[in-house]
Amino acid sequence: MERKRVLVSERIAEEGLEMLRTELDVDFRDDISREELLSVIDQYDALIVRSVTKVNEELIKRGTRLKVIGRAGNGIDNIDVDVCTRYGIIVANTPDSNTVSAAEQTISLLLSSVRNTAWANDVLKGGIWDRKPFRGTELYGKTVGIIGLGRIGSMVATRLKAFNMNIIAYDPYIADERFERFGAEKKNSLEELLAEADVVTVHTPKTKETIHMIDEKAIALTKKGVILVNCARGGIFKETAVIEGLENGKIANVALDVYEKEPAIDNPIFKYTNVVCTPHLGADTFEAQKRVGENIAEQVLLALKGEIVPNVVNLPAVLPEELNYLRPYITLAEKMGNIYYQIEKLPIKRVEITYSGPITVNETEMLTIGFLKGILEPVLWEKINYVNARLLAAERGIKVYERKEKQSAKPFKNMLTINIFSQHHEMEISGTLSRARNPILVDINGYETEANLEGYVLMLQNEDRPGVIGPLTTTLGEAGINIASMKVARQTKGQTAIMILNVDNNVEEEVLKQLEQIDGLIGTPKLLKF
Ligand SMILES: NC(=O)c1ccc[n+]([C@@H]2O[C@H](COP(=O)([O-])OP(=O)(O)OC[C@H]3O[C@@H](n4cnc5c(N)ncnc54)[C@H](O)[C@@H]3O)[C@@H](O)[C@H]2O)c1
Ligand SMILES: O=C(O)[C@H](O)COP(=O)(O)O
């Protein structure tokens, strides 16, 4: 089979490239121009970027083969995630891989800033021994205002606590418990934080709300001699306002890793000796880049195999431990979805999914998405994935309803019961996990059964009387088909029963026709493949 192709348009660690090369054709092109990128993107199944490559609609439209965009890093403001979702393209990033490095860079910039380290270094190396201009400020006992107490903001908080700083934070989107956990005093407004902080450091994403969050108005509210740090995203600080604050003496020091325009070359802020600057190096440590490279390679490989990818940005957020627990249930939901169009050819109007048992305390949205992916797979094949499953189901007029019941009614701890409605017909299937955590079907249209949802599954209806099963097993045996397991189920003695068999081999059309001829079998046998 032809190997899939990935284009890596920015530098990632060699370890990551090596992992990709084990399964894919890899083009590492960190010198690629925008023009060339646009003209070759249709040859690739995956694209790996960092913060420079703009993944916008123009690029996505041309990337007709693209299945996944891997962001080797954290921030995704260079990627139009909504457009990717519309085109069914997975966007995955590595949010936890470089947070320590970014937090340490924040501390490094802050210390360098309050002690004039970078400026003193330049002067000394320029041949001048002078100590007077560089008298600094201690962090001890000062107040730091952290805006955004997420992954990096909270790491900055715990590290600055060790400097005996008083920590205050503003983040309207997190629970009070998080402020307590990181020893930060909660501020209910940005204004309050700005009025009290000696140091202001931002750790939010770049959003409509945070662009130019630190502007003239915000700076006017700060203490005279405030120190400002931005190791998050360019644009959160309005640079013209910061320059004004430097000029009029309101701001004592500024530390920047990120800029409104990157690469930043002739930025007017560079001329100030009390501004310390690095060229977006927050994530640039050997450790972080190794983690980022390996992590993104792993996710891109999973995405190209149609498997569950841990850090998909355009899917519900699930913690890694929770995802590990849910993964076999997502597979179960997906395989249950696979059943319908292998049996029926009637368009679906509505599905009702009931989750029962302790699983209901979890984020079940991923299971619903898995089910929809499974149901549409026989129809849409490679076009469907976890990202676009809900969208494509909605486009096909399938309405989805979900319900949670804390207690499972059946003798299974956790169970999924799914009712699928077409115009005049309903199918009900229930599934759970076996002791080995493999997906099993336990009920179909009210018949209690037990079938492993893997390999080949043969489904038949029969009259509940002697002399039917024998010819069936003989026919299969004569065709060289081994029966791995078999369950016969009935609702009323002597009426219609069903048989579900796990078989080790494919059952050819010819054999299915022979089975159809057996006296006592009803209708056409169905062979399901998982
Ligand atoms: N300099 C670098 O190289 C580098 C490296 C890694 C990450 N980053 C950037 O650092 C920033 C933080 O990353 P993270 O992993 O901690 O993100 P995160 O999502 O874990 O945390 C962000 C926090 O900001 C809060 N927030 C959002 N909008 C806010 C607002 N208007 N006001 C106050 N708080 C708000 C959120 O509630 C969240 O708690 C991002 O911008 C990321 O891109 C930069
Ligand atoms: O968001 C991030 O991960 C950092 O800003 C690092 O970006 P980079 O991968 O371009 O260094």
CATH number of the domain encompassing residue 505: 3.30.70.260
Residues 442 and 460 in one domain: no
Q: Residue 87 sits in a domain of what CATH number?
A: 3.40.50.720
Inside any domain, residue 126: yes
Query: What pLDDT was estimated at residue 410?
Result: 72
Residue nearest ligand 2's atom 7 by CA: 51
Domain interval for residue 155: 99-277
CB 85 within 8 Å of CB 388? yes
Q: Residue 337 sits in a domain of what CATH number?
A: 3.30.1330.90
Query: What pLDDT was estimated at residue 318?
Result: 86
Q: Which ligand is nearest to the CA of 72?
A: 2
Q: Is the CB of 50 under 6 A from ligand 2?
A: yes
Q: Which atom of ligand 2 is nearest to the CA of 75?
A: 1
**Nearest CA among 52, 48, 16 for reference residue 34:** 52
Residues 104 and 243 in one domain: yes
Query: What pLDDT was estimated at residue 385?
Result: 87
Domain boundary (453, 486, 511) is at 453
Residue 457 backbone zone (phi > 0: left; psi -120 to 50: alpha; other: beta): beta
List, in sequence order, every residue forming a beta bridge with 26; answer none if it has no partner: 6
Q: Which ligand is nearest to the CA of 236?
A: 1
Inside any domain, residue 530: no
Residues 147 and 251 in one domain: yes
Q: Which ligand is nearest to the CA of 207?
A: 1
User: Which tokens hold the place of 83?
Assistant: 């457009």
Using CA atoms, how far residue 381 sits from 373, 389, 420, in Å, is 9, 12, 20
ipTM value for the complex: 0.99
Inside any domain, residue 272: yes
Inside any domain, residue 430: yes
CB 288 within 8 Å of CB 97? yes
Inside any domain, residue 343: yes
Q: Which atom of ligand 1 is nearest to the CA of 153?
A: 16
DSSP 7-44: EE-S---HHHHHHHHTTSEEEE-TT--HHHHHHHGGG-
Alpha-carbon gap, residue 444 to 448, rounded angstroms: 7
Residues 142 and 226 in one domain: yes
In the chain the first and final C-alpha atoms are separated, in Å, by 21
Reduced to 3 states (helix: H, G, I; strand: E, B; else coil), residue 207 is coil
Q: Is the CB of 150 under 6 A from ligand 2?
A: no
**Nearest CA among 71, 72, 44 for reference residue 60:** 44
Query: What pLDDT was estimated at residue 408?
Result: 74
Task: From 53, 74, 202, give the residue whose CB has the most ligand 2 atoms within 8 Å, as the site to mutate.
Answer: 74
Query: What pLDDT was estimated at residue 205?
Result: 94
Residues 145 and 251 in one domain: yes
Ligand 1 center from residue 120 Cα (angstroms): 31
Q: Is the CB of 108 under 6 A from ligand 2?
A: no
Alpha-carbon gap, residue 166 to 10, rounded angstroms: 39
Alpha-carbon gap, residue 335 to 374, rounded angstroms: 6
User: Which tokens hold the place of 274?
Assistant: 């009390």
Ligand 1 center from residue 206 Cα (angstroms): 8
Residues 109 and 257 in one domain: yes
Residues 328 and 385 in one domain: yes
Inside any domain, residue 362: yes
Residues 391 and 331 in one domain: yes
Ligand 2 center from residue 158 Cα (angstroms): 22
Domain boundary (412, 438, 453) is at 453
Q: Which ligand is nearest to the CA of 70?
A: 2
Q: Which atom of ligand 2 is nearest to the CA of 102?
A: 4
Ligand 1 center from residue 402 Cα (angstroms): 33
Provide the H-helix boundaries in 248-311: 286-304
Q: Which atom of ligand 2 is nearest to the CA of 74?
A: 3
Alpha-carbon gap, residue 437 to 55, rounded angstroms: 39
Domain count, the chain: 4
Q: Is the CB of 73 under 6 A from ligand 2?
A: yes
User: Which tokens hold the place of 7?
Assistant: 């284009």
Alpha-carbon gap, residue 264 to 279, rounded angstroms: 8
Query: What pLDDT was estimated at residue 381?
Result: 77
Alpha-carbon gap, residue 182 to 155, rounded angstroms: 8
Residue nearest ligand 2's atom 11 by CA: 283
Residues 185 and 332 in one domain: no
Q: Which residues line ligand 1 (CB under 6 A)?
A: 74-75, 95, 98-99, 102, 147-153, 170-174, 203-207, 209-210, 231-233, 257-258, 280, 282-283
Residues 140 and 230 in one domain: yes
How confident is the prediction along the chain (530 residues), in pLDDT tens digits per residue? 789 999 999 999 999 999 999 999 999 999 999 999 999 999 999 999 999 999 999 999 999 999 999 999 999 999 999 899 888 899 999 999 999 999 999 999 999 999 999 999 999 999 999 999 999 999 999 999 999 999 999 999 999 999 999 999 999 999 999 999 999 999 999 999 999 999 999 999 999 999 999 999 999 999 999 999 999 999 999 999 999 999 999 999 999 999 999 999 999 999 999 999 999 999 999 999 999 999 999 999 999 998 889 999 998 888 888 989 999 999 999 999 999 999 998 999 999 999 999 999 998 999 999 999 999 998 887 778 899 999 899 999 999 999 999 887 778 999 999 999 999 899 999 999 999 999 999 999 999 999 999 999 999 999 999 999 999 999 999 999 999 999 999 988 989 999 999 999 999 999 999 999 999 999 999 999 99
Residues 409 and 511 in one domain: no
Burial 471-493 (b: 16+ CB within 10 A, else e): bbeebbeebebeeeebbbbbeee
Inside any domain, residue 221: yes
Cα torsion angle, 213, 217, 218, 219, sign: positive
Alpha-carbon gap, residue 266 to 40, rounded angstroms: 32
Query: What pLDDT was estimated at residue 110?
Result: 98
Torsion of CA 475, 481, 484, 487, to 10 degrees: -30
The set of catalytic residues is 233, 262, 280
Domain boundary (435, 453, 471) is at 453
Residues 160 and 32 in one domain: no
Cα torsion angle, 249, 254, 260, 266, sign: positive
